[in-house]
Amino acid sequence: MEFLQQLINGLALGSVYALLALGYTMVYGIIQLINFAHGEIYMIGAFAGFYSSTTLGLSLIPTLFIAMIASGLAGIIIEKIAYKPLRNSPRITLLITAIGVSLFLQNGMRILVGSNPKPFPDLLHAGSINIGAIQIEWKTILMIAVSAALVLVLQFIVYKTKVGKAMRASSQDMEAASLMGINVNNTISLTFAIGSALAGIAGVLVAISYPSITPYMGIMPGLKSFVAAVLGGIGSIPGALVGGVAIGVIETFSKAYISTNFSDAIVFGVLIIILLIKPSGLLGKKTHEKV
């Protein structure tokens, strides 16, 4: 029974990693950029949710929407100011810029709100349900349900709408897409907005379950979600989902059955092993391009 309990906990954590990994994989798929500021977008979403619920007194659903909007706008602004002017620069330039944006957001938020952890309010006001010897908190169910719904919505957007068709066309050949009448700049901005909105919702979901937020809360989840995206095959939406769930389950089981001190090392070790066996990731496509 303990195994099933840990599996459920791992799926809940993995669903959050999957939401973050989707942002990494969408941005990489369209402009070949590893947005290392993505963890800070997650942090911005958590703080937007915090102030929405404490200052404005909003309930769960409006708080999620405000976190989504705030994070989406932050993603668009970052893309316009930091990444768009360097779009034709070498990738190492974009990578260094992304790291710089990450540090700027961390320390900027620390100056604005302080470095002390802030207690996130309980927006769900619900206990748990018991299935035999297994106890499942409603917060855990919320994380899994919201993440699954958002993944389905994203799949619909990408594969069933004109916006999604523009994203896929731009990711395959940006110049050809532009010649076919697609506004590539708007498409890239929308991609950042969607990926960032998912990260913002993930920030609120985690803050509800682990009710303490800080300006540096996005560092480790951001790294692990990047690992999830690479593990699943960066650029692949199903890969991000599989990678996120896999990393969440591995982390949970390693903490439960091996050691909490070594769980992070185990997660990154699994990535190394997978990439040695299959460099393109579990669901990634082979490429001969050097990065």
Assign 3-class secondary structure to the chain: CHHHHHHHHHHHHHHHHHHHHHHHHHHHHHHCCCCCCHHHHHHHHHHHHHHHHHCCCCCHHHHHHHHHHHHHHHHHHHHHHHHHHHCCCCHHHHHHHHHHHHHHHHHHHHHHHCCCCECCCCCCCCCEEEECCEEEEHHHHHHHHHHHHHHHHHHHHHHHCHHHHHHHHHHHCHHHHHHCCCCHHHHHHHHHHHHHHHHHHHHHHHHHHCCCECCCCCHHHHHHHHHHHHHHCCCCHHHHHHHHHHHHHHHHHHHHHCCCCCHHHHHHHHHHHHHHHCCCCCCCCCCCCCC
What is the model's pLDDT at position 286?
62
Model-level pTM?
Answer: 0.90
Residue 233 and residue 228: Cα distance in Å, rounded? Answer: 8
What is the model's pLDDT at position 149?
92
What is the model's pLDDT at position 105?
95
What is the model's pLDDT at position 188?
93
pLDDT per residue rounded down to tens, the chain (291 residues)? 788 888 998 999 999 999 999 999 999 888 888 899 999 999 999 999 999 999 998 998 999 999 999 999 999 999 999 999 988 888 889 889 999 999 999 999 999 999 899 999 988 877 778 877 788 888 888 899 999 999 899 989 998 999 999 999 998 888 899 988 899 999 999 999 999 999 999 999 999 988 899 999 999 999 999 999 999 988 888 889 999 999 999 999 999 888 888 888 888 898 888 888 888 888 876 654 444
Neighbours of 76 (CB within 10 A): 17
What is the model's pLDDT at position 131?
78
What is the model's pLDDT at position 133?
75
Residue 118 and residue 137: Cα distance in Å, rounded? Answer: 22
What is the model's pLDDT at position 263?
87
